[in-house]
Chains A and B, each alone.
Chain A
């Protein structure tokens, strides 16, 4: 019953996840307009190399190349009918690499957002969202993923739909959201709000947390927010390697391996158990992170001031979990409640 990741979490007090998928594939020649998932069939060698890069750099967990693998995303490339196969292939390639690693390495089946807005604000119903995630989840499961890994979600409703799909597929899962708007998700959810949401789910994740977003400082503030909310559930921190910069036709992330190493140690001290990178994080970054996590003794959780001193400032003054956020508009006092 216990899944490989659950076992690993019992024996280790931190785990290194992987780095970037999209930006790494771009550096391998992925062109604007190509769906990364199609490479699972067209360029399996490059996808193996992507996974191998993380494993060789010391990752205990890597994510499959299936972020945009839901039917709604693949439809944009007229590949929606290949949903199951492309996801299965993503996991199969991962299985090959992980099984040759000579140590336990977790293949995590990546599931990104559907890209649609959920009802009642948008057209995507809960049932339809569950169905799409479920289709993807079955492909990943049948390809040999150890765990499903929902990431970069903004809407609580979509997170809940993914949870239900993982249950239908009979799989353990982890799920992270992207806190990129004034310390909250695009849909306004705070770190405290997510911690609460996770505990209410009928099929709760093995671990939850934050990925992508703005910079490593913001991400650590979010981790502190999860911890302050009182949850004992393992927390995931997968932040970007700095901020993207445009340079001679290419995008570079400005975070150095040294910066990501400091971020990794601070993330662990802040209370994260699974630590990795997101956009811009290369195997060099991962190696530096692994070394720092192994060589640096665990310390006290950093304060907000220590985070900004080490890693740079936050993108917003408040993340909505304190009372220091911007004040809501003065009302005439005759406001009617919605609905």
Chain B
């Protein structure tokens, strides 16, 4: 496609050019190049947190936007997420070591009776791509499974997915149980997965209904920020 296709030597790019190149390489799902670039930035003294937020999350935001806008589709997003994962594998232990601030944590799972998990997996990958820590409960989760994970993981966000119209009402069962236990407001509850709409999200008492994985990430960021602001205001 381009004449100078093999000419780029990542280590010869300055920081701005390299980050720009990482955006392109994430977009193209080039895992090895992303790993190499992460190591170059580390060697140049970048903090793991800056690499995560400025290079990787920045690049994945573009992928997310183009997915939302119908320019990229699932295969490209999976490739990008895979490249991102390569970079994250290097950064994860370093982020812990350096005590970097946590962007947020999400517990996610497909509700009881629903075995469709492609959408949920995409959300989990895109959330990780945005720097969130994700605990994936898999498919077919009963209310007890969600409650157990909320208690042990203490996430900011509970994400529930259902593809079938037959399983969506179960989301309300989970939310109602949270209400009964008086812990509903401890979590941001995001739902998604079916061809429904915001009206459905409101009707069952979720904080938001997310149309797709890209919207889920944007919504999660917004709510976590709001939550932090509220906590700061209270303190």
Contacts and interface: CB of A to CB of B under 8 A. Distances in A.
B200 A187 contact: no
Contact of B73 (A22, A23, A184, A280): A184
A181 interface: yes
B199 A245 contact: yes
A331 B70 contact: no
Contacts of A180: 195
Contact of A329 (B62, B111, B165): B62
B1 interface: yes
Given A251-B165, A326-B71, A337 B1 contact: yes
Interface string A11-32: 0000000000011011000111
Interface string A308-338: 0000000010101000011111011111111
A25 B28 CA distance: 43
Interface string A169-199: 0000000000011111011100000000000
B79 interface: yes
B51 interface: no
B96 to A, nearest CB: 28
A22 B165 contact: yes
B8 interface: yes
B113 A33 contact: yes
A37 B28 CA distance: 40
Contact of A251 (B4, B20, B168): B168
Interface size class of A (residues with CB under 8 A): 35 or more
Contacts of A338: 28-30, 79
Nearest to B121: A117
Interface string A243-283: 11110011100000000000000000000000000011000
Contacts of A77: 115
A32 B116 contact: no
Interface string B70-105: 111111101100000000000000000000000000
Given A32-B111, A33-B140, A246-B168, A186 B66 contact: no
Contacts of A25: 166
B53 interface: no
Interface string B170-199: 101000000000000000000000111101
A46 to B, nearest CB: 15
26 contacts: A73-B115, A76-B139, A115-B115, A115-B117, A117-B78, A121-B74, A121-B79, A154-B74, A181-B74, A186-B73, A187-B75, A188-B72, A246-B169, A246-B196, A246-B199, A251-B165, A251-B166, A251-B169, A279-B165, A318-B70, A325-B70, A334-B7, A335-B2, A335-B28, A336-B28, A337-B2
Given A328-B71, A336-B6, 13 more contacts: A26-B166, A33-B167, A115-B118, A214-B195, A244-B165, A244-B196, A245-B196, A245-B200, A246-B169, A251-B165, A329-B66, A335-B2, A336-B8
Interface of A: 22-23, 25-26, 30-34, 68, 73, 76-77, 115, 117, 121-122, 154, 180-184, 186-188, 214, 243-246, 249-251, 279-280, 316, 318, 320, 325-329, 331-338
Closest 5 pairs between A and B when the two form their complex, measured CB to CB? A188-B73, A182-B70, A32-B113, A33-B113, A251-B165
